[in-house]
A and B are shown apart, each in its own frame.
Chain A
Amino acid sequence: MSLLEEISASLQKGDDNEVAELTKRAIAESIDPKEILDDGLVGGMDIIGKKFRNHEIFLPDVLLAARAMYAGMDLLKPLFLKDGMPHIGKIVIGTVQGDLHDIGKNLVGIMLRGAGFEIIDLGKDVPPEDFVDTAEREGADVIGMSTLLTTTTPMMTRVIEILKERGLEEKISTIVGGAPVSVELAQEIGASSYGYDAANAVEKVRELTA
């Protein structure tokens, strides 16, 4: 097994110490950091994502793999300091104002990071303006909104309204998800896309940023 394959394997096992050790070794052996990221870390997370989608593994395993992925990414970050960590898109995510549920949103963040996106996670109970202010300031491509409560879906509508008010609706796409959200609701409120679960969210975000 090559060193990068070992990193991927250890990541899939959720062994963050091992991934850190192997990543250090790969850096010391002058392997291109982008290769370490793509083939080692993102490669491992991709397999995790596929297994999760196929119901072969569940949330705890994804969380462990994510922890291992972050352990490796933390070591690579300084090497990308000049241009920043390469990414295929920048997404602002959060649970909407009035809602504190975040497991779903956290999982989406993990899967998107694992797919090579840069994530700015605003946490929970996020006011509509904050989503747009942050996306605008950071040059994000997509705003992702999550909610578990039926009563807070108007907060998603408000974000889309603010984007329109600021003339940003072409520049910044939106994707929504959560138990009370459906593809019909997403269409009604004018969201760009809808993800029915975390794995689907990654596919949809890839389409939005293609």
Chain B
Amino acid sequence: MEPFLDRISRGEILISDGALGTMLFEAGLEPGHCPDMVVLEKPELLQNIAEQYIEAGSDIVHTDTFGANPLKLADYRLQDRTKEINREAVTLLKEVAGDRAYVSGSCGPSGRILEPYGDEKPEDVLKAYTVQTEALISAGVDLLCLETMIDLKEALLAVEAARSISSEIPIMTTLTFDKTPKGFFTIWGATIEESVTSLQAAGADVVGSNCGNGIDIMVEIARAFREATQLPLLIQSNAGQPENRGGQIVYSEGPDLFAQKAIELKEIGVSVIGGCCGTTPDHIRAINRAVS
């Protein structure tokens, strides 16, 4: 496939995939069960979901490794299976994706709190991300997606770790912001401006936001990012807020709204558009139709 960053610099809009977590819950994943273990226990389920997203128009599919950082896996006492989970997660997707879509290695937060606010040492977090990104890169991911970050320091450690393994691997880094009367902040207090400055310096290729918000607020966030940087942008919005309708969890924002807003994202100049919690292949299909 043509290099991911080349297509972006040509001005192409690429479609990422939608939610994985909520799709797994729909498919019967037990709460409390390690979602990354699905890689080893039910790989065909992940391949099925990826196939659905590719058919809906995704140019990028993400590995089920959001929590496969050794520090996070330690919560389930599975840290010794870090390499195995990350590598298998890539392999099973490459089988499905072929040359139809890029395989992106997903890395989420470590779940630990960095000194001085907590007890985790930066060097241990750096080591953890180094182990994870090395496994993903050696298994052949086309790019990395360091996502749902709230602590900018941790995000920078993740970028540093990835760059220590490869200076060329495309790195997308997205944070989760809250809208406050004083502006957009992560719960850790990071602003969009300081995030883009330091992420760019650290070697991230694409920056943006995922999770935490429905698509209206994500459009506002996209605008703020565009004002703060010329770097390519990635936006992966939640499908609104989850609502409990007679025992069924329903997300409030549907594909039609996503299609409408995707056009706005395109106009703002966002290069990669996808979905987060609550989104489905239908959302991706709608985005694809609207911007392609």
- The residues of A with any CB-CB pair to B shorter than 8 Å are 55-61, 63-64, 97-100, 103, 125, 149-153, 179-180, 182, 184-185, 188
Contacts and interface: CB of A to CB of B under 8 A. Distances in A.
27 contacts: A55-B180, A55-B182, A58-B187, A58-B188, A58-B189, A59-B117, A59-B187, A59-B188, A60-B117, A64-B117, A97-B31, A97-B32, A98-B30, A98-B31, A100-B111, A103-B187, A125-B32, A149-B25, A149-B31, A150-B25, A150-B242, A150-B249, A151-B25, A151-B31, A184-B243, A185-B244, A188-B244
B250 to A, nearest CB: 10
Given A60-B189, A180-B242, 11 more contacts: A55-B185, A59-B187, A59-B189, A97-B31, A99-B31, A99-B32, A100-B32, A149-B31, A150-B242, A151-B31, A182-B241
Contacts, number: 58
Contacts of B116: 64
Most B CB contacts (10 A, CB to CB) among A59, A150, A182, A188 go to A150
Shortest 10 CB-CB contacts between residues of A and residues of B: A98-B31, A58-B189, A98-B32, A55-B180, A150-B249, A63-B117, A151-B31, A180-B242, A60-B117, A55-B182
A60 B154 CA distance: 13
Interface string B86-126: 00000000000000000000000001010011100000000
B75 interface: yes
Contacts of B30: 98
Interface of B: 22, 25, 30-32, 75, 111, 113, 116-118, 180-182, 185, 187-189, 241-244, 249
B109 to A, nearest CB: 10
A64 B117 CA distance: 6
B110 to A, nearest CB: 12
Contacts of A179: 242
Contacts of A55: 180-182, 185
Among A58, A64, A153, the one with the most B-chain Cβ atoms within 10 Å of its Cβ is: A58
Contact of B243 (A63, A100, A182): A182
Contact of A153 (B25, B111, B117, B244): B244
Contacts of A152: 31
A179 B211 CA distance: 11
A11 to B, nearest CB: 15
A56 B181 CA distance: 10
